[in-house]
Amino acid sequence: MRAIRPLVTMLLTGCENTRFLRSTVSAQLRVSRFRSHVSGLRLGKHETLNVQRETLHLNPEPRFTNDASRVSSTPLAACFSILLGLLSAPALALDHDNLDPNRPIGMEDAYAIPKGEIGLESGVRFNDRREGRTRVTFQPQIIYGAFDNTQIEIQGDLFTDPSTLVGPNKSGDLHLGVLYNFNTETLQLPALAVRVEADLPTGLNSKGVDTQVTGILTRSVGRLRVHVNAGYTVVGVPQGQERPGAYRAVLAMSYPLGYPTSFRDTLIASIYTRESDLRGQRNHTGIEVGLRHQLSSRIVLDGGLGTEFVGPADRAAILGTVGVSLGF
């Protein structure tokens, strides 16, 4: 009996600290693409979830009597429920609903990856042009959650037939980017973010530093999410008939397939337009459709297809992408 008393005392002490445990959970528990149907609003990605007292069904204070055998079971059950919940909750290192550029289509959402997370992303993109040879692009990229709501990106695209490229994006250029999320979506405001990028002239036939600024908006409508991207690129040293700058605009939607029964796939569709790389040519305008699949907690696969129905003579007849993302 004496051997059991320390164990009973420990349990009682733990339950007396329920309020502390609850506050710790409230401060630290983070959700990745958690969807709340309260008032029809889904919480934003990587938002801190404030666990309310009513949600956990905890009493304001634990109830005790002088007889340890008559301790109320409500705090004890809550104590064990919290511990079991923390132990059983999966720690997803990557989220298939986290939409980054070219993974798998040319759009993104307004959220950064969590602080401290590292993602290695790679893809192969082919462009079967209406005139000219089919071009293949290899897209290795590293993303890092440097701060809260801030991610840093390092990328270097490699193209086949690089000597024929026109425009700011040359084969082998070193791409540096920062994405900053201003706010989580609320009933009144969409999620807003800004991306600032610089392409260093480390590639073939590349001159000058190209810069780009993009504004990003994400808004939920039920389970559907709507995304707007609008950006402008300034070419450091235009060559020949290249434009000194060009704009790009994208309207996209993403939808969780199988939700709420399962949530391993996200379907994405977009329509876009961007200025041509050379003066005097029509805008590239097209559509893309993609799918991201959560293979495991640390692996996300993606694939996409698209076409350009308006643009220069060498616009894309078929665009395709396959890729993989690894989280650490």
Residue pLDDT, tens place only, 108-146? 999 999 999 999 999 999 999 999 889 999 999 999 999
pLDDT in the model for residue 186? 96
pLDDT digits (tens, 9 = 90+) for 288-327: 999 999 999 899 999 999 999 999 999 999 999 999 999 9
CB 300 within 8 A of CB 292: yes
pLDDT digits (tens, 9 = 90+) for 141-177: 999 999 999 999 999 999 998 888 888 889 999 999 9
Summary mean pLDDT of the chain: 79
pLDDT above 80: residue 66: no
Most confident option among 6-15, 175-184, 235-244: 175-184
Pairwise CA distance, residues 99 & 324, whole Å: 13
pLDDT in the model for residue 103? 92
pLDDT in the model for residue 93? 57
Query: What residues does each domain of the chain span?
Result: 4-88, 118-327
pLDDT above 60: residue 240: yes
Could you tell me the two tokens for 268?
A: 């994405």
Pairwise CA distance, residues 158 & 97, whole Å: 26
DSSP state of 58: -
pLDDT above 80: residue 274: yes
For residue 73, count CB atoms less than 10 angstroms from its CB and return exposed for 0-12, middle for 13-18, buried for 19 or more.
Answer: exposed
DSSP alpha helices (H): ranges in 221-288?
none
Pairwise CA distance, residues 121 & 140, whole Å: 6
pLDDT above 60: residue 35: no
Write down the CATH number for the domain with range 118-327: 2.40.160.40
pLDDT in the model for residue 53? 32
Kindly compute the dihedral angle of the four CA atoms of residues 172, 173, 176, 177, in this order, to the nearest 10 degrees.
-100
pLDDT in the model for residue 325? 95
pLDDT in the model for residue 81? 53
Pairwise CA distance, residues 81 & 90, whole Å: 16
Average pLDDT over every residue of 45-58: 37
**Across the chain, where does the E strand assignment appear?**
30-31, 47-48, 118-129, 135-138, 141-147, 150-155, 158-159, 174-183, 191-200, 210-221, 224-234, 245-257, 265-274, 284-296, 299-310, 316-327
Partner residues linked to 26 by β-bridges: none
Pairwise CA distance, residues 94 & 113, whole Å: 8
CB 311 within 8 A of CB 283: yes
Phi-psi region of 5 (alpha: psi -120 to 50; beta: other; left: phi over 0): alpha
What's CA 266's distance to the chain center, in Å? 12
Under DSSP, is residue 50 helix (H, G, I), strand (E, B) or coil? coil
pLDDT digits (tens, 9 = 90+) for 9-26: 444 444 444 444 444 433
pLDDT in the model for residue 326? 94
